[in-house]
Amino acid sequence: DAKTTQPTSMDCAEGRAANLPCNHSTISGNEYVYWYRQIHSQGPQYIIHGLKNNETNEMASLIITEDRKSSTLILPHATLRDTAVYYCIVRVENGQNFVFGPGTRLSVLP
């Protein structure tokens, strides 16, 4: 599975959009981009995933660049409860492995 690079930490003001970037320059054509988050002391939680088209669900939007070498997770109106570590993972669909990197620690500030 391709390696990902994320900033170590980010801050965001409550009510504003949080944009979390992820670089995956070695992604293969059949690899998807997944996002999970881990709120303190809980297990990671699935957010969204996509291949090349932009995706949106009730939690977030996923924007993938045309060359697929990077993506951005967007939380449109961040709340204090969105403070968490956000993990970007690249893997083949239906592949077995889910390998988590260090992620981005997002702090939503009042």
Partner 1 sequence: DAGVIQSPRHEVTEMGQEVTLRCKPISGHNSLFWYRQTMMRGLELLIYFNNNVPIDDSGMPEDRFSAKMPNASFSTLKIQPSEPRDSAVYFCASRGMGEKLFFGSGTQLSVL
Chain centroid, CA 8 distance in Å: 13
**Which one among 8, 42, 66, 81 touches partner 1, defined by CB under 8 A?**
42
The C-alpha atoms of residue 7 and residue 25 are separated, in whole angstroms, by 15
Is 44 in contact with 51 (CB distance < 8 Å)? no
Asked if 35 touches partner 1 (CB under 8 A), the answer is no
Nearest approach in angstroms of CB 26 to partner 1 is: 20
The C-alpha atoms of residue 73 and residue 61 are separated, in whole angstroms, by 6
Asked if 34 touches partner 1 (CB under 8 A), the answer is yes
68 SS3 class:
coil
Q: Please list every residue from 45 through 104 that binds partner 1, using CB under 8 A.
A: 45-46, 49, 87, 93-94, 96-103
Which chain residues interact with partner 1 by CB under 8 A? 32, 34, 36, 38, 41-46, 49, 87, 93-94, 96-103
